[in-house]
Amino acid sequence: MTTTFPDVTISTDRLVLRPFEEEDVTALAEMMNDEHVTAWTSVPHPYTYADAVTWATKTAHTERTEGRGIVFAVTEFLTQRLVGIVHLQDTDWRTRTTEVGYVTAPWARGEGYASESVRAVARWLFTDQRFERLELRTAADNTASQQVAQKTGCISEGVLRNACIVRTQNPDGSWSDTRSDLIVWGLVPEDLDEDTDGYSDYSDGYSDTYGDGYSDGYSVGYADPRADARDGHRIPSANANDANDYALFSDRN
């Protein structure tokens, strides 16, 4: 039985999903230092250049070679710039199931790239790899990432109470951990079969907002640059019209 994904590149009309390269390091470090990535994921903060080097040149590749999943650098077809990440993780080769996470770069939000890239990976997963289930987990307050799940075609299946940690920003600029529920979403082959025109709506319901997700300890969701005040803490608003980006990271720590 095959227990590793092939080293592949996946393309859509607008995007190329490929393995990470050393040339991605600078853009990756900038992307992962975004405050919304800090809030909704467990990535190191600050996210250093050394962290980016390790991820792009080692960690992202060993995810595939050691059979845990596969990591895609999401790039624009026309500009070749890095615009996000899609990560399959916690893969069960016997049941043919895996979990997806995703992140979208601040400079690429509002384009619908998260749902477009996740759907492309899901089609490849179900068609070429003959998987039977793709799972996504989002923090209860991360409505932006939840909208990405919906746009992708995922079905909400339940809540895991007190199952993850998110971060809120204090008045002095520091960050504190806060416990959150997780919403579990599932996607199976017939869910995609119901929509043959996978990328007809690139806007993904975006207005001036964005949403993300990453897993393997990473998780992201963004919505509006304005913030809500909650118990003296500052947390990015998650009331976006779409959720589009690093679930490599679903909201699970």
Phi and psi at residue 116, to the nearest 5°: -65, -45
pLDDT at 198 (0 to 100): 43
Share of the chain above pLDDT 90, in %: 72
Helix (H) or strand (E) run with residue 98 in it? strand 97-104
pLDDT digits (tens, 9 = 90+) for 145-163: 999 999 999 999 999 999 9
Rounded CA-CA distance 28/206 in Å is 23
pLDDT at 245 (0 to 100): 36
Closest listed residue to residue 198, CA positions, set 6, 76, 15: 15
pLDDT digits (tens, 9 = 90+) for 223-237: 333 233 333 333 343
Closest listed residue to residue 108, CA positions, set 214, 201, 245, 227: 245
pLDDT digits (tens, 9 = 90+) for 13-42: 999 999 999 999 999 999 999 998 999 888
Closest listed residue to residue 232, CA positions, set 172, 144, 186, 147: 172
123 burial class (0-12, 13-18, 19+ CB within 10 angstroms)?
A: middle
Annotate 224-237 with b (16+ C-beta within 10 A) or e (fewer).
beeeeeeeebbbbb
Residues in contact with 132: Cβ distance below 8 Å, sequence separation at least 6, in sequence order:
95, 96, 97, 126, 188, 189
Q: What is the largest CA-CA distance in the chain?
A: 53
pLDDT at 15 (0 to 100): 98
Rounded CA-CA distance 39/167 in Å is 5
pLDDT digits (tens, 9 = 90+) for 81-114: 999 999 999 999 999 999 999 999 999 999 999 9
Closest listed residue to residue 80, CA positions, set 23, 135, 41: 23
Q: Which pair of tokens denotes residue 100?
A: 């997806």
Cα dihedral across residues 29, 27, 210, 75: positive or negative: negative
Residues in contact with 232: Cβ distance below 8 Å, sequence separation at least 6, in sequence order:
170, 171
What type of residue sits at position 172? Answer: D
pLDDT at 193 (0 to 100): 76
Cis amide linkage into residue 46, ω under 30° from 0: yes
pLDDT digits (tens, 9 = 90+) for 123-144: 999 999 999 999 999 999 998 8
The CATH classification of domain 10-237, taken from the options 3.40.630.30, 1.25.40.20, 3.40.1160.10, 3.40.109.10: 3.40.630.30
pLDDT digits (tens, 9 = 90+) for 175-192: 999 999 999 999 999 998
Give the pLDDT band of residue 195 (cuts 50, 70, 90).
low
Rounded CA-CA distance 165/40 in Å is 8
Is pTM beyond 0.75? Reply is yes
Residue 104, beta-bridge partner list: 84
